[in-house]
Amino acid sequence: MSSAQGFGSNSPRTKLTQSQLNAILLRHQAFRKSQPGGVRANLKMRDLSHLDLSGIDLSDADLSGAKLFSARLTGANLANANLYAADLRLANLEKADLRRADLRGACLRGAVLSEATLVEVDLRDGTLLHYDSSGEMYAHEYEDSVLTSELTAATIRGADLSRAKIANAFVMQTDLTDAVLRGTKFMRANLTGSNLTGCDLTDADLTEANLTGARLSGAVMTGCAINRTNFSGATLIGAILDAAQMRSPNLQAAVLAKTLENPEDDLREMLMEHLSWIDSGGKAGKRADLSALDLSGRKLDGINLSAAILQCIALRGANLSGAAMAIADMSLADLRKADLSKADLRGVNFERATLTGANLTGAQLGPVHIQTMSGHVWRANLQRARLGMALLCKADLRKANLSGANLAGADLTGANLSEADLTGADLTGAVLDGATMDQAIVEEAIGLAS
């Protein structure tokens, strides 16, 4: 039973006007500041549909069973709030703070929670409750009294749900792109058809979860429990899995990176066609498309794959030193511990690629100047790339887009970061001795000395 239909359905909700709500909020604000006349906001079973609650502080407030249908709660503070079985369908909670909020049995169908903070939030089952005439809650006595939390068709891009409890919840057709799901409990949750591209599922628990048809390209799944998880038709191409997970029989039903039947011959033929395509300006040969292939550990030094399509390619530990890969599309690629030293990577697309521990010493990651009337500059795209502990000594990163990239512990000694975009990048523990950062954009960057 959906919480939108169930909680307190026998008791009408009292509709609040914006002015009535404002009065309650003022008293709650005084309560939060321990001022005289302050009263904790009690909005249980109230109808706040369509109201503008942007930026308000309702931390610790009681909103159990409240109807917040299509309410605007952008940037709101709802930390530790009681939203038990609340109706939050189509609500806008973008960048809201819901830390440790009680959302058991809540309905968030179609809600927007992009970049929201949902650390340790509780989205497990709730028990159907009603209110009696005195306003006290009592439990439903029938067998269908359990409310399942619902996040179906919600947009939760880039949100932080670390250590959240989402067991048994409906999370179908939900956009969780780039979400942080470290240690999140998804036991028996239904994630059918959801988009988990680029999300961080490190140490999450997906035991008995249903991920039928889900997209997990570029998702980090190291340490993630996948016992009896249903991966039927799930796309795991480009997902970061550890060796033990790769041996799991559960993955047999998933869509995984392909291997070539005759790798040496097949690769040689593709490269010859690609070189012909380059030399003829696209009039002959064929552009190389190695997307979703597993070429991990291969010796490919000096290879020319400029402008090739290499989306979701697995090149773990591969030798690509001195390779020519300018303007290549390597988004969502797995390049952990790959050797890309002195490689020509100008204008490359490494969006959401994993280059943890990779060697990019002396690599060229600057812009490419396209020979057109407009004189277009094609910048290297490393947005949200994972470069933790990577070697980038003397690398050319001029004008590169490194927004949201993880450079924690990376060695950038002598690197050129002039005019690079490091907005929101994580540089915790990065070595920047001798690095050039003239006109670099460093807003919201983490780990940079002030």
Residue 70 contacts residue 52 (beta carbons within 8 Å): no
pLDDT > 90 in the chain, percent: 82
Helix, strand, coil shares, percent, the chain, to 5? 10, 20, 70
Reply yes or no on whether the pLDDT at 221 is more than 80. yes
pLDDT of residue 8: 41
More confident residue, 13 or 202: 202
pLDDT at 10 over 50: no
Q: Each residue of 306-322: pLDDT tens digit?
A: 999 999 999 999 999 99
Distances from the Cα of 381 to the Cα of 33, 108, 162, 320, 401, angstroms: 46, 34, 27, 19, 5
Among candidate residues 133, 108, 132, 131, the one with its CA nearest the CA of residue 121: 108
Q: What is the pLDDT of residues 79-88, one digit of tens each?
A: 999 999 999 9
Residue 46 DSSP SS3: strand
Going by pLDDT thresholds of 50, 70 and 90, the confidence category of residue 161 is very high
- Amino acid making up residue 391: L
Token code pair at residue 310: 């290499």
Identify the CA nearest to 124 among candidates 98, 104, 99, 144.
104
Please give the biggest Cα pair distance in the chain: 82
Say whether pLDDT at 146 is over 80. no
State the first-to-last Cα distance of the chain, in angstroms, to the nearest integer.
Answer: 52
Mean pLDDT in residue range 115-140: 66
Q: pLDDT of 403-434, one tens digit each?
A: 999 999 999 999 999 999 999 999 999 999 99
pLDDT computed for residue 141 by the predictor:
40
Q: Is residue 123's pLDDT more than 50?
A: yes
Residue with tokens 């369509």: 50
Summarize pLDDT for 225-258 with one digit per residue, the tens. Answer: 999 999 999 999 999 999 899 899 999 999 998 8
Across the strands, what pairs with 165?
Answer: 122, 185
Residue pair 229/343 in contact by the 8 Å Cβ criterion: no
Quick check: 192 pLDDT over 50?
Answer: yes
| Paired sense of beta strands 377-378 and 14-15, if any | unpaired
pLDDT exceeds cutoff 60 at 93: yes
pLDDT at 382 exceeding the cut of 60: yes
Residue 77: band (very low, low, confident or very high) from pLDDT cuts 50, 70, 90: very high
H or E element in which residue 264 lies: helix 263-279
Could you give the domains of the chain?
A: 258-449 (2.160.20)
Evaluate if residue 184 carries a pLDDT over 70: yes
Say yes or no to pLDDT of 4 above 50. no
**Predicted pLDDT at 374:** 61
Inform me whether the pLDDT recorded for 9 exceeds 60.
no
Res 127 pLDDT > 80: no
**Which of 145, 107, 77, 82 lies closest to 4 in space, CA to CA?**
107
Both tokens of residue 377? 């500059």
Residues in the chain: 450
Cα separation of 267 and 273, whole Å?
10
Name the pairing type of β-strands 377-378 and 368-369. antiparallel
Tell me the CA distances in angstroms from 450 to 117, 423, 428, 442, 445, one per residue in order: 26, 15, 13, 11, 11
pLDDT at 125: 76
Q: Supply φ then ψ for residue 169, to 5 degrees.
A: -75, 160
Task: Report the amino acid identity of residue 370.
Answer: I
**Poorest-pLDDT segment among 121-125, 131-135, 330-334:** 131-135
Contact between 25 and 41 under an 8 Å Cβ cutoff? The reply is yes
Query: What are the C-alpha distances in Å from 25 to residues 13, 40, 63, 78, 116?
Result: 19, 9, 13, 13, 21
Q: Which of 32-46, 121-135, 385-399 has the lowest mean pLDDT?
A: 121-135
> Is the pLDDT reported for residue 129 higher than 90?
no
Q: So what's the pLDDT on residue 372?
A: 59
Rounded Cα distance, 185 and 224, in Å: 10
For residue 401, the cross-strand partners are 381, 421
Q: Is 132 helix (H, G, I), strand (E, B) or coil?
A: coil
**Across residues 147-156, what is the average pLDDT?**
89
Q: What was the pLDDT predicted at 6?
A: 40
How many helices and strands, by DSSP H and E, does the chain display?
Answer: 4, 8
Report the chain's mean pLDDT, rounded to a whole number: 91
